[in-house]
Amino acid sequence: MRTDNPSTSAIVLGPADPVDPSWYDSRVYSWAYRAARSGQACSDQVARIAVALVRNAHQHTRSGSPRGTVEVTVTRDRFQVQVTVTDNGADQGADGWYPFPRARPHGGGLRLVERLSLYWDWAGGAGLPITVRALVDR
């Protein structure tokens, strides 16, 4: 997907394959690695973060449903690379609450993002799309 900003690359993905949910992993990894346009270590971090966030979106939000989508954006500047992943929002849980992104003990996805990034946060609301952002030092 082309953007107006030459420092930004974006890709929109459909839902995860129910038979092979990791089908997007290599595609997202190779796209994000190239989009980072940085040294090997930085590009690897960016790609691993992108894969982890796409997996989380497919697993924990409506993005994993048959008509779901996930938008991944990589933006470069002089000192850092920003990875953002926007999902379709979560469904209301059995307890009546909407789950929001948080790094849980022993959790895989956001713990990895926390470990590989300088900083991460999220924006969104109950039942609305959630955007998770992670910054990586170039």
pLDDT at 51: 94
For the entire predicted model, the pTM comes to 0.86
Q: With a cut of 50, which residues of the chain have pLDDT below it?
A: none
- Residue found by looking up tokens 């993002």 in the block: 113
pLDDT at 96: 67
In the chain, the largest separation of any two C-alpha atoms, in whole Å, equals: 45
Query: CB under 8 Å to 54, separation ≥6 — which residues?
Result: 13, 24, 25, 28, 70, 72, 85
pLDDT at 98: 66
